[in-house]
Structure 1
Amino acid sequence: MPDLPATMTAIAISRPGGPEVLVPEQRPLPQPGENDILIKVAAAGVNRPDVFQRAGSYPPPKGASDLPGLEVAGEVAAIGSKVTRWKIGDKVTALTPGGGYAHYALTDASHALPIPAGLDMIAAAAIPETFFTVWHNVFQRGRLKAGETLLIHGGSSGIGTTAIMLAKAFGASVIVTAGSEEKCQTCRELGADIAINYKSEEWSAAVRQATGGRGPDVILDMVGGDYIAKNYDVAALEGRIVSIAFLQGAKVEIDFTKLMTKRLSHLGSTLRAQSVEAKAAIAAAVEEHVWPLLAEGRCRPLIHAVFPLGEAAKAHALMESSSHSGKIVLTV
């Protein structure tokens, strides 16, 4: 075992509030359980759930770290007694239950994957939360198949840009909504067939026109609010709508008639609260189906901005401005 420090620097949430409540503090070094690995963090992804947790609306699951940070890349620094896949010094990218905004982070060994060939630590840290989420929701739950059409709301987000690349890699057509012409152009450059600026045109009418009135087979929605009823309106027969966030609100009044007449499926999930075993199964599927695409360079996480760990507040302010396209990453 290498000599490890007794304490580490971490970015804690001092109280619920704005980005300014993220403050550095000294914490005891986490100790791995028998199935865990301790990762010396080189980079950590910033995600919308981190912002919700900081604001006080997304508490960590029982037993998880109270520190923000759901994905990291780095080097294995210590391993639990039952860990067989990893050894000290291995370079990994990993989904964490929290705690990524720190010099060291713990995760279950089954939630880590080898860094794909050709990716640096910053790119690797931008993979787990978004790629696991997209694979689980678009392909496992939404059952997107080659030849079908996927509609992505929030196409320029970290989730959205990932969904564009994976859907195209697996042979689907892609329509996105985004909030500016610049963001729409970014989505097109990533492979989106049609990008709709929802601020300058009514997206539901544009989707109908783009699909010849048929509608998309799968809709990935992180907006909620009045988008829910519009999703029901535009979806194809037997369409699958997958909700992963509700940026415009989770409570709406809705007429469910179209759910019945179109035989729609409305699904939803969160990643963080799932069991260790469920997340391990997602990791294994992503390694099998997506890792080859990353290693071949057929898709790459889109990095918008990189900040040092001590400037996590600036990273959160950027995310809340929604002026970014792709991922925001912290470096340690």
Structure 2
Amino acid sequence: MRAVDIRGGKGDANALFINPEVQKPQPGESEALVKIKAFGLNRMDLLQREGRYPVPPQTPSTLGVEFSGTIESLGPHIAEKGFKIGDEVFGLAYGGAYAEYIAVSTHMLIHKPKELSWEEAAGIPEAQCQPQTWITATQALYLVGEFFPGKSVLWHAGASSVSIAGIQLSKSGGASAVYVTASSREKIDFCVNELGASQGFNYKEQDFAKEIDKATGGKGVDIIIDFIGQDYFQQNLDAAAKDGRIVTLGALSGTKLPAGVDIGAFVRKRLRFEGSSLRSRDAEYQGRLRDKLAETAMPKFKDGSFKIYVERVFRWEQVIDAHKLLESNATKGKIICTIE
């Protein structure tokens, strides 16, 4: 089969090419072989391409963790009922989605609603770090952040795909307020006017912790979802409410804290700081998360209440241009590649 490969095993975007001689996978136990129609790009793909992302041991060398397509065959001993050859599905994988075919556990598949296009469906599953979505947002908000109605939420990188999903999930779930940070007024206006966020802060011009303090009358925010790490650590502690949760999904600014960071808020506010990664989770965990997404979000995809924002669709032959656009950090929503 054909699959996107990397010359020399790692490199910049120009090292990507379509290799016509990659071995076609065969479905193992509890797996389906899916013929891919579209796949989504994520920032982890950039890091993996450069050799800077620690992948799980079972991960294939081919990039890509989210896809949509049709089931071509099923392996033996499929534990989950309800999947058959010809089904239109989308899902999450440990890797291998930049290809014509992928073998993936049925625990990580969801039937594609007819209301969604292949491109929209491919943009639902994953997202680590920044603009990379619905499954990650669901995990961060519900499973790690322990969200329930009445809680307030701060989504950093508000115009990223994870936060676009998270803002909608928070509002639909009954959040008392939803705040965002972003790098421009255009992105903040998008989050507030299009997605319904309560308020947004330009992190280049404002101290978001001080703005949160003003907006909440000194209470702080209950749940903070962060992708930035080092540069936001102190402000996150300052912005959090008592008994607050800080969920970190990435560290785009780095992982080493500067001298002078005051961690007293952990005790004073009884804070919980928890990191999480979706890709390293086992298939059973991902299956439970898939079920949570199906319960909370799929009906709203079908009726149009939840919107999937696709920045741009490329043919997979343009994967170099797609990676360069993602690297520009100028996007709102997903970048998708399609396979004819």
What is the TM-score of this pair, normalised by structure 2? 0.93
Structure 2 partner of 1:79? 74
Mapped pair 1:278 → 2:288? no
TM-superposed CA distance for 1:217, in Å, is 0.3
Deviation at 1:255, TM superposition (A): 2.6
Residue 255 of structure 1 pairs with residue 279 of structure 2? no
Aligned length: 325
**TM alignment of 1:297-312, pairs within 5 A:** 297-312=304-319
- 2:249 and 2:70 map into 1 onto residues whose CA distance is 30
SS at match of 1:53: helix
Question: In structure 2, what is the Cα distance between the partners aligned to 1:113 and 1:314?
Answer: 29
1:201, CA displacement in angstroms?
Answer: 2.0
Which of 12, 37, 45 is matched with 1:42 structurally? 37
Hey, what's the Cα distance between the residues in 2 that align with 1:117 and 1:255?
Answer: 51
Q: CA deviation at 1:308?
A: 0.9
Q: Distance in 2 between matches of 1:162 and 1:313?
A: 26
Q: Match for residue 171 of structure 2?
A: 168
Would you say the 8 A contact 1:45–1:69 is kept in 2?
yes
Partner in structure 2 of residue 123 of structure 1: 120
Instruction: Name the counterpart of 2:18.
Output: 24
Which amino acid counterpart does residue 245 of structure 1 have in structure 2?
G
- Aligned counterpart, 1:5: none
Find the aligned partners of 2:327 and 2:213 in 1 and give their Cα distance: 30
By how many angstroms is 1:117 displaced?
4.0
Structure 2 counterpart of 1:184, which letter?
Answer: I
TM-score by length of 1: 0.95
- The equivalences for 1:181-220 within 5 A come to 181-188=185-192, 189-220=194-225
Q: Distance in 2 between matches of 1:19 and 1:234?
A: 37
1:133 aligns to what SS in structure 2?
A: helix
Which range moves more in the overlay, 210-219 or 197-206? 197-206
Percent of aligned pairs sharing the same letter: 36
* Deviation for aligned residue 1:60: 2.4
CA-based RMSD of the aligned residues comes to: 1.2
Q: In the TM superposition, what are the counterparts of 1:104-183 in structure 2 within 5 Å?
A: 104-129=101-126, 130-172=133-175, 173-183=177-187
Q: 1:149: how far off?
A: 1.0
Q: How far is the alpha carbon of 1:202 from its aligned partner?
A: 2.1
Q: 2: distance between equivalents of 1:34 and 1:81?
A: 5
Unpaired runs of 5+ residues, structure 2, are 127-132
* Cα displacement string for residues 190-247 of structure 1 (whole angstroms, at most 9, x for unaligned residues): 1111111112222222121111221110000001112011100110000000000000
Tell me how far apart the structure 2 counterparts of residues 104 and 310 of structure 1 sit (CA, whole Å): 16
* 1:293 and 1:299 in contact (8 A); partners too: yes
